[in-house]
Amino acid sequence: MDLQRARFVVDGMDCADCARRIEERLNRMGGVRGTTSNTGARTVTVEYEPDLVVPDQMRAELGRIGYLASERDSAGQLHAMRAGVWGTPFARRTYVSAGCFGIGLVLLWTALPDAARLLFFIGALVGGWNFMPVGFRALVRGVLDMHVLMTFAILGAIGLGEPLEAAAIAFLFSLAELLEQFAVRRAHDSLRGLLSLSPERATVLRDGEERLVPADELRPGDLILLRIGERVPVDGTVVEGATAVDASAITGESIPVDCVVGDGVMSGMRATGGFAVIRVDRPRDESTLARIVQLIEGAEARKARSERFVARFARVYTPAVTAFAFLVVTIPTVFLGAPFDLWFERALTLLVIACPCALVISTPVAVVSGLTAAARHGVLIKGGETLEELAAVRTIALDKTGTLTYGHPVVTDMEAWDGRPADELMGKAAAAERRSEHPLARAIVRGALDRGIDIDRHRVAAFAATPGVGVTAMVDGEEISVGGEQDVQLGARGETAVERIEKLRESGKTVLVVSSDGRPAGMIALADRPRVESRETVETLARLGIRPVMLTGDDALTASQVASAVGISEFYARLRPGEKLEWIERVEPEARPTAMVGDGVNDAPALAAAGVGIAMGAAGSDVALETADAALMGDRVERLPYLFRLARVSRRVIRQNVIASIFIKLSLAAAVPFGLVSLVTAVLVGDLGASLGVTANSMRLAGLRPRVRP
């Protein structure tokens, strides 16, 4: 039977323990075949058999254990949390608890103990209500979780006649939980910021009239207008005019990119110059921006190894400390005749320490911070597991074309043979080629513009293109032809010209001869040359201890030239896609994990087989986004060192958080039987302090930026 998928936003699912309990509850329902939770986005995705169970039944089941669930919209957008954590009922109860606790302390210091005790009692109950309802329901089901432990601790302190400590536990633990919720949601701010880059409305051209319509109503084929300062609402293609766009939010490019007729634009880009008419290629919910957000949300559900370790540790740690608490109160009082109140309070302190909240957020907050920091700089990482794999990479295989090279022809040489300046001949050749859609023609036009040559000053007429030969046009009254099959005999200089052309062709370049009124006047050479940043990138990777290897389908001569130019000593040429896959499969067991960098299309098999597949220039490419484990959204190979640095720093932060959390919890637990830790200290240090510490440490990742020139 075909399975269907439902996705819910679950109010109150703010920790790994909550997520585990929700998953277990749903998985017990008949017809549910699998669940995946994402505590950061507070979502649960359920695969189910529609004939056996429906989403309404799942929501009702979650309601029975104290969670309010609502279905997500089909576009997969993040749930709008306008009020944030500070406007929720949980937060309001925390404020009341804090007020009662603070005023109670003032009254206690001013010799009004009865009024203080009353306020402490109220504060304990109000703050405790953040945990008690769920705790009672969990206790009935025989589940030992954080809510049960907090309920015992608060009611136990009240039973001991210590309302001050009960109020302190309720307030401080509520505050700790509130800060944990804020930390997780704060880590998503950049992701929610991506969504805001897509405008809600767009100017569409219909029946010759401009109309302002909601962006959600745009459909493929619609024509929209893009003016300076406006953002692109959907993915599309320029069909009229020209514009410069700021693509930094998508690809990390810091310099605006010129877009002319035929060039693609993506949702979220901002026009910085010019005016263009854009043909819509995809609806809004299938745009590159929406895909990035969906993939990052999905990535957060892919748990890192350290996160799985923490979950397993917490499942053992909590019941173990709880059992220890039972022994602490039982052995001294029953067998040794010690005071019950004293040892019962110490047992309650252990119950507080048994709550693993700071521990279970130590990894996900760091992972979310790392993923969103990377996304802001044009790098997509699909999950904490990939982040940890990247940190362990010591061998990286790089495809040549489109990765180390530009992947398209660029002008490398130009010469004029008839005595005129080379720029003048280049300008006329570009003017003639401007009406052609051939990749070599576009490269010549782009080369002339890059050299500052004014093409618009030339008058072009009688344009004609011959497939496989070239183009001919009247440029300023002069017949200009550009092609590869022309007579280059130039009298006494003919032999020199032929030798020059042959030498360029032997070096892997394409040579086009430019003729004026039927006579050869010069030549233009083009090649797919190495990126300017490739050599520095390779050198930086080597300094990071990563061995670079180049894999290419080109001939050995071209491969050798490119490898030498970028500083790679180990390369393999004439490899078909299947042979690249074989190379990865041979090396991966020895150098695990190996990273493979490619375009995500021809290299898809190798990307999938590598320990970490990294797609270059993935913006707008569904194949690249789906195939790779990580993706550089723009054609910026220099982002690779940043990717590995971020992964290594993230791994270090995660380990620091986990080790510190476990050390603090175990140290406090060991000190409790000796009377060295009070209830309030357990909450202040073991939960609030530890939570603040791991959160602050994780947020450092947000400030990690690429160390590259713009």
Q: pLDDT per residue over 226-237, tens digit each?
A: 999 898 999 999
Mean pLDDT (whole number) for 136-159: 82
| pLDDT for 237 | 92
Q: What is the pLDDT of residues 601-660, one digit of tens each?
A: 667 788 888 889 998 876 556 666 677 888 888 778 889 999 999 999 999 999 999 999
| Sequence-ordered alpha helix ranges (H) in 65-162 | 89-109, 113-128, 132-140, 146-159
CB-CB neighbours of 4 under 10 Å: 14
Rounded to whole angstroms, the Cα distance separating 687 from 702 reads: 23
Go through 236-257 and write b for each residue having 16 or more CB atoms within 10 A of its CB, e for each that does not: bbbeeeebbbbbbbbbbbeebb
400 close to 551: Cβ distance less than 8 angstroms: yes
Confidence category of residue 537, pLDDT binned at 50, 70, 90: very high
| pLDDT for 304 | 64
CA angle at residue 486 from 481 to 491, to 5 degrees? 110
Confidence category of residue 74, pLDDT binned at 50, 70, 90: very low
CB-CB neighbours of 702 under 10 Å: 17
Record the pTM. 0.75
With 60 as the cut, is the pLDDT of residue 192 above it? Answer: no
Phi, psi of 613, rounded to the nearest 5 degrees:
-95, 130
Tell me the DSSP string of 7-22: EEEEET--SHHHHHHH
Here the tokens at position 631 are 């993706």
Q: What is the 3-state secondary structure (H, E, C) of 382-445?
A: CCHHHHHHHHHCCEEEEEHHHHHECCCCEEEEEEECCCCCHHHHHHHHHHHHCCCCCHHHHHHH
Q: What is the pLDDT of residues 18-27, one digit of tens each?
A: 777 788 889 9
Max Cα-Cα span within the chain: 118
Mean pLDDT, rounded, of the chain: 83
Here the tokens at position 290 are 């929406």
| Inter-CA distances, 350 with 86, 212, 213, Å | 29, 62, 60
CB-CB neighbours of 457 under 10 Å: 9
| pLDDT for 490 | 46
Phi-psi region of 220 (alpha: psi -120 to 50; beta: other; left: phi over 0): beta
| pLDDT for 595 | 93
Here the tokens at position 217 are 């109503």
Q: In sequence order, which residues have a C-beta less than 8 Å from that of residue 49 and are 6 or more positions away?
A: 1, 3, 4, 31, 33
Confidence category of residue 297, pLDDT binned at 50, 70, 90: low
Residue count of the chain: 710
Q: Considering just the CA atoms, what is the radius of gyration of the chain in Å? A: 33
| pLDDT for 564 | 92
| pLDDT for 651 | 92
Picking from 3-12, 34-43, 451-460, which range would have the lowest pLDDT averaged per residue? 34-43
Here the tokens at position 108 are 């206690």
Here the tokens at position 195 are 């969504």
| pLDDT for 82 | 40
Task: Provide, rounded to the nearest whole percent, the portion of the chain with pLDDT above 70.
Answer: 87
Catalytic residue list contains 399: yes
With 90 as the cut, is the pLDDT of residue 14 above it? Answer: no
> Among residues 616, 657, 654, 698, which one has the least CA distance to residue 372?
698
With 50 as the cut, is the pLDDT of residue 77 above it? Answer: no
> Among residues 681, 654, 656, which one has the least CA distance to residue 667?
681
Mean pLDDT (whole number) for 420-442: 88
Three-class secondary structure of residue 615 per DSSP? strand
Rounded to whole angstroms, the Cα distance separating 12 from 287 reads: 30
214 close to 200: Cβ distance less than 8 angstroms: yes
| Inter-CA distances, 140 with 17, 146, 151, 325, 519, Å | 17, 14, 13, 21, 95
Confidence category of residue 567, pLDDT binned at 50, 70, 90: very high
* Token pair 């295989």 in the structure block, residue: 397
Residue 589 preceded by cis peptide, ω within 30: no
460 close to 431: Cβ distance less than 8 angstroms: yes
Q: What is the pLDDT of residues 647-673, one digit of tens each?
A: 999 999 999 999 999 999 999 999 999
Rounded to whole angstroms, the Cα distance separating 221 from 587 reads: 46
Out of 399, 528, 635, 687, pick the active-site residue. Answer: 399
Here the tokens at position 645 are 């640095």
- Rounded to the nearest 10°, the torsion over CA 301, 306, 308, 314 is -120
